[in-house]
Amino acid sequence: MARERIISPSEQSEDIEIPTNNVEVYQSIRPSTLDQYLGQAELRERLSVALEAAKERNDPMEHVLLYGPPGLGKTTLAHVIANELGTRAWVTSGPALTKGSDLVGTLTRMEPNDVLFIDEIHRLPAAVEEYIYPAMEDFKIDFTLDSGMHARVVTYALQPFTLIGATTRAGLLTAALRSRFGIVHNIRFYECEELTAILKQATLKLHMETIDDESLHCIASRSRGTPRIALRLLRRVRDFSQVRCENVISPSIVDQALKLEGIDAVGLDALDRTYLETLAGIYEGGPVGVEAIAATMGEDAGTLQDVVEPYLLQVGFLARTRQGRKITSSGLNQVKSPKDS
């Protein structure tokens, strides 16, 4: 099992638990309208047109497929769309829908124009996916009662709804399912300026008005282009400043707080650096297979592929070749530089 790291884009307990006694403050951190949803300008433009048209016709919005790395706001966007439509968002996931009746139970409880959000939709079982097709196209669902010569098909008419599917592995979706989505969009990593704006919005809601833009930029630059990580780091900096610095936050205090967490100036932690140091030192920069690196580090190869390598590839410290993994010149410079640079 992968270790839980503060810079992991996957959802952790601290992202969903209430960190303070003020429940309303925590819940208000996430945007509730499209205007509050910062970044992803092209997607917001497409959605604003689709939402306005749907509300004018009083029709459900087109089905939406969002794909991209975890932590970029796919679940948040589903709630934003539901709020804009004035309806409810029903949230589930592909692995949770093990049989057709699981999906039927949710669909038959939905009100007109509600939003059904299915995370990890690429992991829907084939049997459940068969139920999705008529529901998406005709707002009806057919299922068989009994079996053999006593079998009969019952058709349920559904209220019109919008399906929002989210996946980190768009290539695993079947062509039949993918073709039924009207809006398909890749959610990209955020720019540092976009993350700074998101953090600034969060500080206003958390009553952290004293923090300056330079400090927010320092946090954003170490957040791996991921809002979930940025907000997590912001909370750690807030805690550090409260306990050690009398609630004063400056770039130097941000450095101290994140250094305590083992995060350097480009967002690498100890596991990232160990990976690069192993590749540069023991294997002379590569190329080498990931299984060999994993054996040397005492880690699982799948953990390195899913948890460590994506960001190293994103920032250009690592290259994948046919012969194996290879460290780049910028990655080599990062290994040689001080850890807190």
Known catalytic residues are: 74-75, 119, 168, 228
Q: Give kind and range of the element (H or E) at residue 234.
A: helix 227-244
Cα torsion 264, 270, 271, 276: sign:
positive
Strands (E), 113-242: 114-119, 140-145, 152-157, 161-167, 183-186
283: tokens are 């294997």
d(CA 80, CA 36): 9
Cβ atoms 110, 158 nearer than 8 A: yes
d(CA 231, CA 199): 7
Please state, in angstroms and as integers, the Cα–Cα distance from residue 188 to each residue in 152, 191, 231, 277, 306, following that order: 46, 9, 17, 28, 17
Instruction: Please list the residues that pair with 321 across neighbouring strands.
Output: 324
Residue owning tokens 């009806």: 140
